[in-house]
Amino acid sequence: MNDFRFAISLGIFIFTLVLVITKPKNIPIGYSALLGALIAFLVGILSLHGIEVVWNIVWNATFTFVA
């Protein structure tokens, strides 16, 4: 099961990375990253708890960039 999850995670990562690098139809990088995160969440690789943990780590930097 772990090998399957790893393979799916790697596939989603590569897909997201290709979208970020190639920017098809001038899609902004943020939307490409959001799509990758949404796919990971829908597949079950990413949990709500994981999102909360990451948010708590990066929220200061996020608000600094927004300001």
Residue tagged 């979208």 (tokens): 19
Dihedral (CA of 64, 38, 30, 13) sign: positive
Residue 48 · residue 42 · CB < 8 Å: no
**Domain limits for position 10:** 2-66
Chain mean position to CA 27: 15
Domain count, the chain: 1
Query: Does 63 have pLDDT greater than 80?
Result: no
The DSSP line for 13-24 is: HHHHHHHHHH-G
At 58, is the pLDDT very low, low, confident or very high (cuts 50, 70, 90)? confident
**Alpha-carbon radius of gyration of the chain:** 14
Query: Over the stretch 1-49, which tens digit does the pLDDT of each residue have?
Result: 688 999 999 999 999 999 999 999 999 998 999 999 999 999 999 999 9
Per-residue model confidence (pLDDT) at position 60 = 84
Q: Which pTM does this prediction carry?
A: 0.77
Looking at residue 34, what is its pLDDT?
92
